[in-house]
Every structure is written in C-alpha cells, then in structure tokens.
Structure 1
Amino acid sequence: MSLMKQRYVLTQSQKMMVFILSMSLYGLSNMITELIPEFRFGPIELSVEYFAFIPLTLCILFHPLYAAVGASLGEVIFGEIMLGQFGGLGELEKFLAFSLAMFIAGSLVRDPKNRRQVGIAAITGVAIHQMISSMVDIGKVWVGIEELEAVPGLAESVVVIEGVSFLNDVLFSGILFALLPTMYLVPRLYGKIEPLLGMKPRDNKMRYSIGQILGPRVIVLSIVAACGAFIAEFMAESDMALIEWDADFVDTYGDWFIWVSIGAAALVALVTILVMVSRRRNAGGKGVSHG
C-alpha cells in the first residue's frame, strides 16, 4: 500500500462523520458571515468572505476530499437551499472551485504540527479558490455574457477590478479568517480531536514528496474540476441553469429566517459531535483504528 493510501485510511463511517461535521460546521459559519456588515473604503471593500479555517482545519487533520466536499455542500444546503435560493449550474461552479481549493490545501500538509506547512497550505487554498473565481468572472466579461461592473476609483478594466478583488480577499479574509486561525488550531487540535472519530492521529514523522502528494491523478482531476467550474458558470450565465429555484424565504419572511438555517446547521453539528463522542465511549478499552 502506498504512503498516500496509508495516510488517509478511514472506515466508511469515519468518512461520513468527517463529511457531515465539515458540512454542518462550515454551513453554520457561512450563515454567520451573512450577519457581519461590510465596510468600503473607496475601491477597497472589507468583508468577511468566509471562515475558511474550518474546512482547512478538517482537511488537514482528517481526509481532505471528504472534508472539502462536505464543506462545499454545507454552503449549498444551509446557505442557499434552506434560504430558498438555488442557482443550479451557478452553484456548481462554487462547489467545484471551493472543493478543489480545500482538497489541494489539505493534501499539501505533511506534518500538522509544522506551522509553516499549515500556513502555506491555508493561504494556497484561499488563493486557488479566489483565482478560479476571478478567472471565471474575467472570462464572463470577455466572452460577453456579463457586463463590466465599474468600481469607483479603479480603471474600467475587468482585469484590474478582479485583481484588486483577488488581493483584497486573499490579504483580508485569507489572512484573518484562514491563515491565522488555521495555523493556531491545527497544531493544537492535532492528536486531540482525532480520537473522537475513533482513530489515531496520522503519523507526522512520515515524509512525502510533492510528487506523492500532487501526483498525475490529482493534477488531472484538478484540471477537470477547474474546467467544469468554468463551463458550469458560463452555462448558468447563459440562462442554461437547468435546475434553478428562487423562493427567497428571507424576502418573504424577513431577515430572521437566516436564524432558521443557522439553527439547523448548529443542530446537525451538535448531533454529529454527540454521536462521535458516544461512539468513542462505546469503543471503551478496545482501542482505536489507524487513520
């Protein structure tokens, strides 16, 4: 068995726990960001894009694929569908881009106690996600399916506007809500949270080359996912969303309805954690499986 396979061996139930925990926690955090106001200083907009440290931490400590996909699905379920908004293929672009970015970030870390590795992975994940989003937006304007939205104080160039937005998101949200919290949490949680899933922390003494981490299969899948994100967004903007739902419960019932989604995500997260703790207690002195 290869080193990569040894590194991420989980039972199906453990994978499901990682998936649901990531889905609920990130869905919860995503709804909380909706309540945080935005601040604009000329062409610079300071807003909390997302609390990326949650999926980043789970991707690094556990299985990067299941944690990444779970987080992306959590945003769709709790941030879109439960609020009566679903953009069809437009949501697929967000799903693929974010899943890809978090998966790559989680795969880059070989030693969770190494803050340098964790920091590089965290900021890389945010940069990949924002880069894909910026390239999609630039492509939509160049192709002509979306008009340029000028920003006061900036040249009327989509490249300049998206470039400033990219730097703003990476340097503000990326550092404050991804890099710093992830660097703080991962080394401290490593070895403590894993037993909740009934598995041992992965061996941080094992070393992997970049070729082992980002092999041909991962690179090919990354390219396919990125291309899929581009195509999905272009189709959505061309009125080919296929499946689209717009009940907009917030407009219908008021801003308080956001708390319904927050409550649902919190409940799922709480139940998941309780199940994890219960499974750990039931295991008792039987020991834990290797992960």
Structure 2
Amino acid sequence: MTTVNKRYTLTQSQKMMVFILSMSLYGLSNMITELVPSAYVGPIELSIEYFAFIPLTLCILFHPLNAAIGAALGEVIFGEIMLGQFGGFGELEKFIAFSLAMYIAGTFVRDPKNKIQVGIAAMLGVAIHQAISVTVDILKVWVGVEELEAIPGLAESVVVVEGFSFLNDLLFSGILFALLPTLYLVPRLYGKIEPLLGMKPRDRHDRYSLGEVIGPRLIVIGLLLAAATFIFEYLSEAGFNVEWKADFLEMFGDWFIWVSIGAALIVVVITIAVMVKKKPKTEASQQEEKIPS
C-alpha cells in the first residue's frame, strides 16, 4: 500500500503561537548567555555562542519557518533593541543567516523520532550559521571594508583566524549547546507539546511548502539569502547604514539587562499560560470531531 504524503499546515493562530514562543524563549536564552563569562584555556576562548537547541527543538517539532524567524527576531528585539542598540543592515545579516540555518535544520528532519536525523540537523544548523558568518567576515576583509590582519602584511591570515573560530564554535557550542540538548529534548517533548497548540505531532509523511526535502529550490533560495547577508554587512561596514543607539546600559548600568530578561520571561509565561488555557477547548473540539454524526 502506498502512503500519500500530506502537506503540513498550521492555522494562523498556531503559527503565531509558535512564532511568539520561539521569539521569547530564544530571546530569553540569548540574554542569559550575555551573563555567562568566557573561559580561557591558554589562547583558546571558550564561550557560549548561543543556546541553539531552543530554536532547533522548536523547528524540528513544529513547522520550521515560523520557529526560525521567531528565534531570529527574538535576538534582535530582546538582545539589541531593548538594550538600546540596533545595528541596521548588520542586524539583517545576522537575522537572515540564523533564520536560514535553523529553517534548513528543521526541514532536514523528516521524522522527529529518528535520533540520527535530529543529531545531524542540530550540527547542520550550527555549521550553516557559522559558515555563513565566517564567510562574510572573510569577504569583508578581502573586499576591504574591514581591517583584520592577524599576521601583519598578510590579509589572508584572516582565513586561519576565522577557520579556528568556526571549529571552536562548531565543536564547543555545537556539541554542548546544540547537539546534546536537542537529542535529549526532541524525543521527550514530541507528542506532548504539540497538543498545547491544538495540533498533531509531525510525522515522516508530512511535507512542506518549499519541498519535501532539501532540494534544488531550497538550495538556490539559501544561496541567494546567504549572498544577501554579505551585501547587508558590506553596506553596514561601508557606512550606508542607519543605526540606532540609546545607550541604556551606559545610562542605567549593567543591571538594565535584567529588564530585557524580565520582559522576555513575561512573554514566555503569558504564551505558555495561553497555550495551557486553550488545551481543554482544543481537546474537546477534537473529541467532537471523532464522534460520528
């Protein structure tokens, strides 16, 4: 018997809930990483780049597009704007690179119960994001909009510096704060968190609007967006930029970061409360649909 793949769709309210949940959770986690100090082992800096397992888990369990964009926007709102700083085109580079990486990672997983797919997706998301960021940084130096010569007189040394940074972030943040937590959370949340949004869990027969797998169309879109990240960063570094700074941290002190953390936490609590409140109504409506007329 042939199994027919079905399109995975969400209602507008479900999309909004996924978006807000991803935005607030990742925004909150992003602020927490600002409070964690870096550790040094000789010349090697060990720091938490981000808690990538949060958007990865949401992108795998739900439709990845809404979760990916929500997480990227959460970083901008809670990590930049609420602290009185917005980098203009530079922020667009981060937004596109991160949301693209998380979306591709979520799309890669066809079966959330398959730990191999989940593990590959977690590392794939971090690798794509870091690869785009490293490539943009290298191109900025080579094009000449930014100066970075680790070895005096040798601009190509930036490749070594950025290459080491890529491996450090991939192996340290990628394994500890993406791979391991995602492998732990996805199987335990699968089938439990989806009913809160009134939706059924994803399965391997669901397909997306941009293709059933990462095919040529998604690859072309990804390459175009990756190129756009360099263009926006180039415009930012070249001076064609509109920045906004209120210097809240300088005005009120470092404690002001807790205002952003508190705001993100309030949004998380309200979102979860709304989801829990809607769950009984959703279950009742689903039971009515099962009763034959």
Query: Is this a same-fold pair by TM over 0.5?
Result: yes
Tell me the distance in 1 between the aligned counterparts of 2:143 and 2:224: 21
SS for the counterpart of 1:202 is: coil
SS for the counterpart of 1:37 is: coil
TM-score under structure 2 length normalisation? 0.91
Q: Is the 8 A contact 2:198 2:283 kept in 1?
A: no
Tell me the distance in 1 between the aligned counterparts of 2:185 and 2:262: 24
- In structure 1, the partner of 2:257 is 258
Q: Any stretches of 5+ residues in structure 1 without a counterpart? A: none
The structure with the larger Rg is 2
1:108 is aligned to 2:108: yes
Q: Which moved more, 1:72-81 or 1:266-275?
A: 266-275
SS for the counterpart of 1:40 is: strand
% identical aligned pairs: 71
- In structure 2, the partner of 1:271 is 270
Tell me the distance in 2 between the aligned counterparts of 1:217 and 1:141: 31
* CA distances 1:16-56 after superposition (whole Å, capped 9, x unpaired): 00000000000000000000000123331100000000000
Query: Could you tell me which amino acid in structure 2 is paired with residue 201 of structure 1?
Result: P
- In structure 2, the partner of 1:70 is 70
Map of 1:144-155 to 2, 5 A cutoff?
Answer: 144-148=144-148, 150=150
- In structure 2, the partner of 1:55 is 55
Tell me the distance in 2 between the aligned counterparts of 1:221 and 1:43: 38
Q: Any stretches of 5+ residues in structure 2 without a counterpart? A: none
Tell me the distance in 2 between the aligned counterparts of 1:31 and 1:227: 28
Query: Could you tell me which amino acid in structure 2 is paired with residue 216 of structure 1?
Result: P
Tell me the distance in 1 between the aligned counterparts of 2:263 and 2:145: 36
* CA distances 1:51-81 after superposition (whole Å, capped 9, x unpaired): 0000000000001000000000000000000
TM-score under structure 1 length normalisation? 0.92
Q: Is the 8 A contact 2:26 2:54 kept in 1?
A: yes
Runs of 4+ aligned residues of structure 1 deviating over 6 Å after TM superposition are: none
* Superposed displacement of residue 156, structure 1: 7.5
Q: Which moved more, 1:223-232 or 1:27-36?
A: 223-232
- RMSD in angstroms over aligned alpha carbons? 2.0
Map of 1:186-225 to 2, 5 A cutoff?
Answer: 186-204=186-204, 206=205, 212-225=212-225
Q: Is the 8 A contact 2:149 2:157 kept in 1?
A: no
Aligned length: 280
* Superposed displacement of residue 188, structure 1: 0.8
